[in-house]
Chain A
């Protein structure tokens, strides 16, 4: 009998514990009816999902409903540089304190920072398996321009056109077109771009130019560029490396090897100044670009590692301390990256005698100037708000107010998004510190007066100064008003160079059919591109194969895009 009782007890405990995981402590998301007053003062009733973990509907004594965000769940990629290991907790604590004060009630920020390389895939799974407000489903998240175009038609994103137009930061916006350009033809705005896109420029090692007896101002045409790469290549060293011959899965596709792609654009796009959608992959310019890449590869000017290299691998090879197998040219992001690449070269003792002049920026060659007019400034990545699917915007507007309004407040919160947490990433107090104290060649002393804005040593690397957090102070659409600027001359030079040599990239196409086939299309195009570069087929053969497999589908998409709405 005793054995039976013990076994029954044990069984009960095991069953209860096994089933415990099946229950949920999250909100129920039940719908209730409340009175809502619109911006014109009209009162209507609306169905609102309640009990969600994001926040709650608060109805005042007059019966008017507002939504109070309590827990804000955001999903970000690697562009939030204040990671868990680099002071993210302090960033969150200071954000919560500042935003709670602004909103007049407590709000908690929950950041889910995903692996940068699998961001799109993970976001898709989060949006598929969850429900708004369930704690894992993002209330707001970052999307690249390509991703954004794919989601724009799904109904998952909230149209924030009104919220954006009525935002407090509007009076300070200096670059209004960045957000107006992402609106649909019928005026809907599903994303919010706090900065413009930025783009890539070609960095050339000054020491390699010197060794080859070349000057950057003499590299004006594709032939000059090609000859420079030849001068840099000796079988062990290479002219250029990049994270792929072309990044065909992300607009603007050609920015890692712009000198080879020139006027080609291997995707569906509208030529500047026209309204007709065309397929750039089928154009002669793409065939010529692929053949140029193939020739340079055959001539040993492009590092073969380019084929499979990710950005990290390409970067590290470029500034590696073993320059005997490195490259002379690397096309990468403008602005802050000029400082980052230079600092990494310094860390690896590469060209120490040149200091901040280790890298020079190559102005766009003639063939780029004659076609695009400059390096391409990509479409800006955007923040989006998930739509909970009820018949009102209370929750979404509250998220907009808590996250985006404050993100561009010009002061405390914008500073957090731009530079990080005070006392961790930057400060204004009088202080002195030293980086590389034990290395006489790299040792640098810093001294600041009380009230002087300055960056602090990085939380992850005490020998390097922190650079920025999520927003780039130069690219932001509404500048800071508190006067906090990072005066790093190299960063400023990088930004000035890019802004004076860039043009806006074409807008990415948004089509349901394109979104359906985009991944297969990208895989095929990438495969053909690699096969051409490896000499397995010509550019013309690749385009012919593309037309045979995808021609009719692309025609359908073009017809859909070119049909007046």
Chain B
């Protein structure tokens, strides 16, 4: 058979109806899942239409693009949008960088006991809820006489007056990043550590034969081996940057709204802390967030295709 005929055989498909008929059992088994997906994931999406309605208590009426106009005119919305991007991206970069660094250090450790012990210690904060983490750090950083950090700094004579870490706009974001590093860096090392353990020892042996020092081995063997994983982690997380809510929600307060309010907390306040909320407005903000998230997802997919040859969706 010629090559041309082979291709023709390969591309010829049976009609869809016939394929369904032949595999009716499988299609029937798939049907409930399909219906389930439609009901659970797509039916609620019909609620998107409320972004074009005023929806207060039981008074629902069409307002067209009014909510979007109000949203784009609201200073608070743009502050939240800007903060969402800054906080999420800086957090992502810092957490990834720290996780890579710690993974490499752990990989260099020769004592298995120490390595396991440190891994366990740094993984633990991940399993604490953000509410607990916030309570702990709020207590530690309090300006009251029960605040351990301030009292310690005062007793050492480093400061005279307590520093209001969580209520000072210039300090809130750095403190937030540090708390997040403490909580999530350990867990972030898992994927990098897995990659490191997959690097062939022969590469290190070859580098050693070539006279590479320990640092050079890290520079020329370990880091290049990790680079693909680092990029994939960054790309995958980029698609989720607008979803940040819980870590901010448990740590922010009125005095630092300018630097801490993100879209999700803005929507939360407008929806759940308002006596009679307009669900139409908050749906409009949510829809805008989803659209931007969708664009980021497509960009990530594009970047993923470029980097590793296949997309993430």
Contact = CB atoms under 8 A, between A and B. Distances in A.
Given A127-B57, A303-B144, A11 B276 contact: no
B24 to A, nearest CB: 6
Interface of B: 24-26, 28-29, 31-32, 35-36, 39, 55-59, 138, 142-146, 162, 164, 167, 253-255, 257, 269-270, 272-277, 279
13 contacts: A7-B26, A11-B31, A15-B32, A15-B35, A128-B55, A147-B275, A150-B275, A304-B144, A304-B162, A307-B253, A519-B270, A527-B254, A534-B164
B84 to A, nearest CB: 18
B24 A4 contact: yes
The 4 nearest A-B residue pairs measured at CB: A14-B32, A527-B254, A304-B143, A519-B274
Given A15-B35, A18-B35, A523-B269, A10 B29 contact: yes
Contacts of A147: 275
Given A128-B55, A325-B145, 13 more contacts: A7-B29, A8-B28, A11-B28, A121-B272, A121-B273, A121-B275, A124-B57, A128-B58, A147-B275, A154-B59, A156-B57, A237-B145, A305-B146
Contacts of A518: 275
Contacts of B279: 128
A151 B276 contact: yes
B58 A156 contact: yes
Given A11-B28, A11-B31, A526-B254, A519 B144 contact: no
Interface string A309-346: 00000000000000001000000000000000000000
Contacts of B59: 154
B32 A18 contact: yes
Interface string A169-204: 000000000000000000000000000000000000
Contacts of A146: 275
A377 B134 CA distance: 36
A486 B47 CA distance: 53
Given A304-B144, A307-B167, A120 B275 contact: yes
Given A4-B25, A15-B32, A527-B254, A118 B272 contact: yes
Interface string A466-507: 000000000000000000000000000000000000000000
A386 to B, nearest CB: 11
Contact of A15 (B31, B167, B273): B31
Contacts of B273: 121, 519
A527 B257 contact: yes
Contacts of B25: 3-4, 7
Interface in A237-275: 237-238
Contacts of B142: 304-305
A236 B28 contact: no
B276 A530 contact: no
B57 A154 contact: yes
A515 interface: yes
Contacts of A127: 57-58
Nearest to A147: B275
A308 interface: yes
A531 interface: yes
A523 B277 contact: no
A531 B255 contact: yes
Contacts of A527: 254-255, 257
Contacts of A156: 57-58
Interface string A275-319: 000000000000000000000000000011101100000000000
Contacts of A325: 144-146
Contacts of A118: 272
Nearest to B29: A7
A530 B254 contact: yes
A247 to B, nearest CB: 13
A162 interface: no
Nearest to B255: A530
Contact of A534 (B31, B58, B145, B167): B167
A278 B58 CA distance: 31
Contacts of B253: 307-308, 530
Contacts of B28: 4, 7-8, 10-11
Contacts of B36: 14, 18
Given A156-B57, A526-B254, A11 B29 contact: yes
Contacts of B162: 304
Contacts of B255: 527, 530-531, 534, 536
B259 to A, nearest CB: 13
Contacts of A531: 255
A460 interface: no
Of the listed residues A118, A127, A304, A526, the one surrounded by the most CB atoms of chain B closer than 10 A to its CB is A304
Contacts of A515: 275-276
A128 B31 contact: no
A551 interface: no
A18 B31 contact: no
B37 to A, nearest CB: 11
A128 B57 contact: yes
Contacts of A304: 142-144, 162, 164
Interface string A193-224: 00000000000000000000000000000000
A118 B57 CA distance: 17
A7 B24 CA distance: 9
A63 interface: no
A154 B275 CA distance: 12
A235 interface: yes
Contacts of B31: 11, 15
B275 A11 contact: no
A19 B31 CA distance: 13
A154 B142 CA distance: 42
Contacts of A128: 55-58, 279
Given A18-B35, A124-B277, A151-B276, A235 B145 contact: yes
B254 A523 contact: yes
Contacts of A14: 32, 36
A325 B147 CA distance: 10
B109 to A, nearest CB: 41
Contacts of A523: 254, 257, 269
Contacts of B164: 304, 534
A156 B58 CA distance: 9
Interface string A408-430: 00000000000000000000000
Contacts of A238: 144-145
Contacts of A235: 145
Nearest to B147: A304
Interface in A6-28: 7-8, 10-11, 14-15, 18, 22
A124 B35 contact: no
A14 B34 CA distance: 11
B131 to A, nearest CB: 14
Nearest to A528: B254
A518 B275 CA distance: 8
A449 to B, nearest CB: 48
Given A4-B24, A15-B35, A308-B138, A150 B276 contact: yes
A325 B144 CA distance: 8
Nearest to B279: A128
